[in-house]
Structure 1
């Protein structure tokens, strides 16, 4: 089965698989991860070859990988807080960081889609969380 995906989604998935391959040690899970990476390889190559300068894709992919690593770490930390039933200020700050990081992630995926001329561009819509009245320009 073949499914067309947004180019940013392909690179995002690839970075997540790279992180999994670095952080997971279970041999069965690693086999699944490597199989998925092989299935995704042609799509990744296609995205890199869709621009004149593949280093631009590489740079965005590295930023995306960094964001996904941060999200992984935050999710792990939140699970530790949950296991301790500790929902104090540190938990709240970590939980809030998830949507800030996901906003950065979405922006990078969109940039990849625009840069590569992806026919599919992921649409996002969230409630605006910016604080009103604190900006001196308002």
Structure 2
């Protein structure tokens, strides 16, 4: 078995942890759950050992990140359900746009975590913010 250790931002570490915590509550397959638990355990150990989990002021950002990732999970499920049913009207567009906005909030929260913890790696968002009018 090969382990690959790669440097990531503090925000990315906690993003991954929050997603794994969500998966732990929502997956039912025992094998998948075992994989998720293993990875989560490793990443929690890194967060604990580094001390970044104890950074003053980080708890509200972590709660926001988990809430946003939960909303993204639910939004993606909604988009997939609508697609599966062949519903591509206003409901599909609204759900898709909501996921885009949530991803922007996710990126902003990860950035705030990176700044708060003085992460040596800071991710940069590169998507243009465009407000467009959609006519159905």
Q: Same fold per TM (> 0.5)?
A: yes
Instruction: Quote the offset at 1:25 in angstroms.
Output: 1.3
Gaps of 5+ in 2: none
Is 1:6 matched with 2:36? no
Q: Matched residues in 2 for 1:44 and 1:71: separation? A: 23
Q: CA deviation at 1:57?
A: 1.4
Alignment correspondent of 2:30:
27
> Separation in 1 of the partners of 2:5 and 2:84?
40
RMSD of aligned residue pairs (Cα, Å): 1.4
CA distance in 1, matches of 2:112, 2:131: 22
Structure 1, unmatched stretches of 5+, are 132-138
Match of 1:118 in 2: 119
Whole-Å separation in 2 of the counterparts to 1:130 and 1:92? 14
TM-score for both structures, normalised by structure 2: 0.89
8 Å Cα contact 1:10-1:40 kept in structure 2:
yes
Tell me, yes or no, if the aligned pair for 1:14 and 1:44 is still in contact at 8 Å. no
Deviation at 1:2, TM superposition (A): 2.0
**Partner SS state of residue 121, structure 2:** coil
Deviates more, 1:56-65 or 1:99-108: 56-65
| Alpha-carbon distance in 2 for matches of 1:21, 1:84 | 27
Aligned length: 128
TM-score by length of 1: 0.88
